[in-house]
């Protein structure tokens, strides 16, 4: 089992957003890190959906079927569950069950999804 941390903060360089996530094992040893400078400035939800899509690519390539995903967004997985997947290829999810474990607006906790 792995952990993935998606950076949902909309960082930008010269009006271009950055996309970043890292994957660790359960002892926090890095397994994979991804960083990309996007073509234009995007909002946090779009950035996280793109990161989640790239994360699914890595999982499929490496035949990983269990991962815990941490993100700062209150909406990214909820939006996905309401079929607002933006640019995601939904075929990638045929091998994964993604469910929201925690999403409390009253508490300042990060979202947690299990894929």
pLDDT digits (tens, 9 = 90+) for 14-49: 888 888 888 888 888 999 998 888 888 887 767 777
Q: pTM here?
A: 0.61
Break the chain into its structural domains and give their ranges.
2-114
pLDDT digits (tens, 9 = 90+) for 66-92: 676 766 554 444 344 443 333 344 444
Q: What would the CATH number be for the domain defined by 2-114?
A: 3.30.420
**Which residues lie below 8 Å from residue 7, measured CB to CB, with a gap of 6+?**
18, 19, 20, 21, 51, 72
């Amino acid at each position: 089992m792995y952990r993935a941390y998606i950076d949902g903060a909309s960082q930008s360089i010269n009006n271009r957003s950055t996309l970043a996530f890292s994957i660790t094992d359960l002892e926090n040893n890095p397994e994979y890190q991804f960083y990309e400078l996007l073509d234009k400035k995007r909002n946090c939800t779009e950035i996280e959906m793109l990161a989640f899509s790239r994360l699914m690519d890595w999982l499929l390539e490496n035949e990983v079927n269990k991962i815990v995903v941490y993100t700062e967004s209150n909406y990214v997985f909820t939006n996905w569950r309401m079929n607002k997947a933006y640019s995601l290829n939904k075929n990638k999810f045929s091998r994964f069950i993604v469910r929201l474990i925690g999403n409390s607006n009253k508490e300042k906790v990060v979202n947690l999804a299990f894929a």
